[in-house]
Structure 1
């Protein structure tokens, strides 16, 4: 059994008015990956995309901080995270093993901004899809970071905030929390 953990800390909290935080636990046991994510103080009653990000070449990803606000608009948007965190890789939605990122199958926070996500993922299917998309790269959880995304559509974002994905605008993709995934037991 292999165990990985991430302490998820706020990102963009000054700009969005809430300090989303939580934790993630990843357990590889035989042919399954069990993912447990628990979040507090996220924007309430909103769907929150969650993924791990990283570099396909295996470089270790790092978490974005306010220092990544390259255009100095007060927000670290999705494109500004890429130099330190890499690209969106595996979604934590209703079927992570399909690697289908842009959809409406992510957790929704309750009225207090809380949500919990648990999913048992078939590891062989996830690994095959991951290798197909990222050209034989390994999952390498300890080289990845987890992001939680999403603010209310009513939040006034400057026109400089980017991050549209398919039909979803930057309100959906704006990072609100991030954590470095670290090995606990290998």
Structure 2
């Protein structure tokens, strides 16, 4: 059994009015990956996309901070995270093993901005799909970061905030929290 954990800290909190935070654990045991994420103080009653990001070549990913705000609009958008965090890799949705990212099957926070997510994933299926997308079956969780995304449509975002993915705009993809995944013994 191999255990990983991420302490998830706020990102863009000065602009979105909440300081989203929480934890994520990943337990690899036999042919299963159990993912547990608990978040607090996210924007309430909002769907929150959540994924791990990283570099396909295995380079270690780091969390984005306000330093990554390349266009100085006060927001760190999805595109601005890529130089330090890499690309979106595996979604934490209703079926992470399928690696189907743009859709509306992610957790929704309650009135208090809380949500809890647990999913047991068949590791061989996830590894096969991961290899098809990124060239390796090795998830290398300790070289990845987790992002939580999503703000209400009512939040006014400047036109400079990028993040259109399929039919989903920057309200859906704006990062609100991030954590470095670390192996724990």
TM-score (normalizing by structure 1): 0.99
1:138 equivalent in alignment to 2:138: yes
Aligned length: 185
What is residue 72 of structure 1 aligned with on the other side? 72
The Cα RMSD (Å) is: 0.6
2:82 is matched with 82
Q: CA deviation at 1:136?
A: 2.3
The residue aligned with 1:16 is: 16
Per the alignment, residue 47 of structure 2 pairs with 47
2:150 corresponds to: 150
- CA apart distance, 1:68: 0.3
Q: CA offset at residue 135 of structure 1?
A: 1.8
Aligned partners of 1:103, 1:93: CA distance in 2, in Å? 9
Kindly state the Cα deviation for residue 49 of structure 1 after the two structures are TM-superposed.
0.2
Does 2:91 align with 1:95?
no
Corresponding residue of 2:59 = 59
Residue 126 of structure 1 is matched in structure 2 by 126
Contact 1:57 1:137 in 2 (8 A): no
The whole-number CA distance in structure 2 between the counterparts of 1:118 and 1:12 is 25
- Whole-angstrom distance in 2 between the partners of 1:135 and 1:43: 36
Q: Distance in 2 between matches of 1:159 and 1:28?
A: 41
| TM-score of the two chains, using structure 2 as the length reference | 0.99
Contact 1:5–1:25 at 8 Å: present in 2 too? yes
1:120–1:137 CA distance, 2 compared to 1 (3 A): closer
Aligned to 1:117, what secondary structure does the other structure show? strand
Shift of 1:137: 5.4
Q: CA deviation at 1:89?
A: 0.2
The answer as to whether partners of 2:5 and 2:182 remain within 8 angstroms in 1 is: yes
Runs of at least 5 residues in structure 1 that lack an aligned partner in the other structure: none
Report if the CA contact (8 A) 2:127-2:137 is conserved: no
1:165 aligns with 165
Q: Distance in 1 between matches of 2:138 and 2:13?
A: 32
Query: 1:179 Cα shift?
Result: 0.1
* Aligned-pair CA distance for 1:15: 0.5
1:96 and 1:121 map into 2 onto residues whose CA distance is: 7
**Residue 159 of structure 1: how far off its partner (Å):** 0.3
